Amino acid sequence: MKHIILIALIAFFGFSAQAQTKKNKNLKYSTEVNGNCEQCKKRIEKAAFSVPGVKTANWDISSHQLTVILNEEKSSPQDMKKAIAKAGHDTDEIKATKVDYDNLHSCCKYER
């Protein structure tokens, strides 16, 4: 009887641990990204789409909000923010390097 209870407990915890590691294939995510113009919009969205698993990307010029749908099994929001920072745009968590920011067109340079 003790063996049956032990096996049942192990099975239960095994299934619950497995369920917690499941990643979302259609994560809807929004984040702030600094930029100014239509050129920025194209660059930011292109950088987002360069990350594996990003299905949609739309940056709103007036609100500075980037909204994406991504597959967490392929990448994370952090990966996407790194790619955008590499393109020269600051996000809420990751800032572009000075070199990447300086490579932006003059109309794309935002207040840091």
* pLDDT recorded at residue 23: 83
Show the CA angle centred on residue 99, arms to residues 61 and 44, nearest 5°: 25
Residue 6 has pLDDT above 80, yes or no: no
Write down the CATH number for the domain with range 24-108.
3.30.70.100
pLDDT, tens digit, 9 for 90 and up, residues 19-51: 456 788 899 999 999 999 999 999 999 999 999
* pLDDT recorded at residue 43: 98
* pLDDT recorded at residue 24: 86
* pLDDT recorded at residue 103: 96
* Domain ranges (residues) in the chain: 24-108
pLDDT, tens digit, 9 for 90 and up, residues 62-110: 999 999 999 999 999 999 999 999 999 999 999 999 999 999 999 999 9
